[in-house]
Amino acid sequence: MPERVLVETDFLFGLRRRDELHEAVMALLKEARAGRVAISLSPAAPLEATLVMRSAGLDDSSIARALGAMQTILSMFARVESPGLSLSHAALAAELRERYGLSLFDSIHGAVALAERLIYVGSDESVREAVESEGGRTRPLR
């Protein structure tokens, strides 16, 4: 049975060859291709990625191309699921923000991982610590 993991925005940007997380992202995708890992994408990650690109000055057509390229690369390696964002996820995210001072998006990533019993895989140590403190499992993305 493959490990069920949740990835987030840093994973998406790590698909770029020049990103510092690229090797780690590709290693995880190869694990998925081999059937050792089942990848779920946080439902907040595409929105966060869009906002990051928008704040960097990209226009909507460039953002659409970038998101499409991300989807194409992911689909070459594995079937990536994305759980829906529910009210219970949002409520848990608010609790995580209150308890651990996480950002809106980081709290959603953590809440979804916890609620769906997925292993949080990310480069953000504060999210990993919050998830572990709440009884969840994590893996660093590095």
pLDDT tens, residue order, the chain (142 aa)? 999 999 999 999 999 999 999 999 999 999 999 999 999 999 999 999 999 999 999 999 999 999 999 999 999 999 999 999 999 999 999 999 999 999 999 999 999 999 999 999 999 999 999 999 999 999 999 9
Is the overall model pTM greater than 0.85, yes or no? yes
Which pLDDT score is estimated for 73?
96
Residue 139: give the domain boundaries.
1-142
- Sequence-distant (6+) residues with CB within 8 A of 37 are 2, 3, 4, 5, 28, 31, 78
Which pLDDT score is estimated for 108?
99
- What is the domain-level CATH number for residue 118? 3.40.50.1010
Question: For the chain, what is the domain count?
Answer: 1
